[in-house]
Amino acid sequence: MRSIQRSLIIYFLLLLTLGLGVVGVLADRVSSRALMDKEQAAAEAIGLRAEERIRDEREKFDRELLAHARVVGKTANNEYIAQANVESRKFQLVINGPLLGLIPMPGMMTGPVGTISPAVWLAVSAPGRRNPGPMFYPAMRAYFSSLKLDELFLKQLDEDDRSQEFIQFNSSANSVRRSANLGNYTLPFEPAKFGLSLGDHFHDDVNIPGGAVGRRVVFRTVLPFLTSNFARVTGPSGPPNRMTSSPPDSLPGVYIHVARPIAELTETIAKIQADETEQKDSLSADTARTQSAVRITLATTGAATFAALLVGGPILIRRGMTPLHTLTNAVRGVSERDFSLPVEKDELSQELLPIHQHLTQTLDQLKHAFDREKQAVADISHELRTPVAALLTTLDVALRKPRSAEQYKQTLGECRVITKQLGQLVERVMTLAYIDAGQTTVAKVRVDARELVERCVSIIRPLAESQGLQFQIHAEYGIELETDADKLREVLTNLLHNAIEYNSPGGCVELFVAQISPETVRFDVVDKGIGMTPDVVSRVFERFYRADASRTATGVHAGLGLAIVKEYVSQLGGTIHVESEPEKGSRFRVEIPSGLVEITPIDRVRDESVRAS
* CA atoms of 555 and 386, how far apart (whole Å): 9
Q: Residue 240: is its pLDDT beyond 50?
A: no
Mean pLDDT of 322-327: 78
Do 415 and 467 reside in the same domain of the chain?
A: no
| pLDDT score of 96 | 57
Sorting pLDDT into bands at 50, 70 and 90, what band is 209? confident
Do 410 and 445 reside in the same domain of the chain?
A: no
Q: Answer whether 588's CB lies under 8 Å from 578's CB.
A: yes
Do 400 and 445 reside in the same domain of the chain?
A: no
More confident call, 547 vs 237? 547
Summarize pLDDT for 389-432 with one digit per residue, the tens.
Answer: 888 888 888 888 888 888 888 888 888 888 887 787 787 778 77
Mean pLDDT of 481-507: 89
Helix (H) or strand (E) holding 166: strand 166-171
Q: Answer whether 502's CB lies under 8 Å from 540's CB.
A: no
**Which residue range is the domain that position 181 belongs to?**
4-237+245-265
Say which DSSP state 239 is in. S
Do 449 and 595 reside in the same domain of the chain?
A: yes
Closest of 528, 487, 485, 486 to residue 507, by C-alpha? 528
| pLDDT score of 87 | 64
Q: Residue 127: is its pLDDT beyond 80?
A: no
Number of domains into which the chain is organized? 3
Sorting pLDDT into bands at 50, 70 and 90, what band is 599? very low
| pLDDT score of 597 | 58
- Asked, for residue 212, whether it belongs to a domain, the answer is yes
Do 402 and 546 reside in the same domain of the chain?
A: no
Do 507 and 424 reside in the same domain of the chain?
A: no
Compute the Cα dihedral for 299, 304, 307, 313 and give only its sign: negative
DSSP string covering 389-444: HHHHHHHHHHHSS---HHHHHHHHHHHHHHHHHHHHHHHHHHHHHHHHHT------
- Asked, for residue 253, whether it belongs to a domain, the answer is yes
Q: Residue 84: is its pLDDT beyond 70?
A: no
Do 12 and 160 reside in the same domain of the chain?
A: yes
Q: Answer whether 586's CB lies under 8 Å from 524's CB.
A: no
- Asked, for residue 298, whether it belongs to a domain, the answer is no
Cβ atoms < 10 Å from Cβ of 449: 24
| Domain boundary residue, one of 437, 456, 471 | 437
| pLDDT score of 368 | 79
| pLDDT score of 495 | 92
Cβ atoms < 10 Å from Cβ of 413: 11
Q: How far is CA 112 from CA 105, 106, 121, 123, 471, in A?
A: 19, 20, 12, 17, 166
Summarize pLDDT for 541-572 with one digit per residue, the tens.
Answer: 887 776 655 444 344 456 778 888 998 899 99
Q: Answer whether 229's CB lies under 8 Å from 84's CB.
A: yes
Cβ atoms < 10 Å from Cβ of 552: 14
Q: Residue 177: is its pLDDT beyond 50?
A: yes
| pLDDT score of 163 | 55
Instruction: Say whether 260 sits in a helix, a strand or coil.
Output: strand
* CA atoms of 176 and 184, how far apart (whole Å): 11
Mean pLDDT of 326-351: 76
The least confident of 2-6, 72-76, 165-169 is 2-6
Do 487 and 431 reside in the same domain of the chain?
A: no
Do 427 and 483 reside in the same domain of the chain?
A: no
Closest of 254, 249, 242, 221 to residue 140, by C-alpha? 249
Distance of CA 303 to the CA centre of its chain: 28
Say which DSSP state 506 is in. T
Summarize pLDDT for 29-54 with one digit per residue, the tens.
Answer: 999 999 999 999 999 999 999 999 99
Q: Answer whether 491's CB lies under 8 Å from 498's CB.
A: no
pTM of the model: 0.46
Do 205 and 340 reside in the same domain of the chain?
A: no
| pLDDT score of 235 | 44
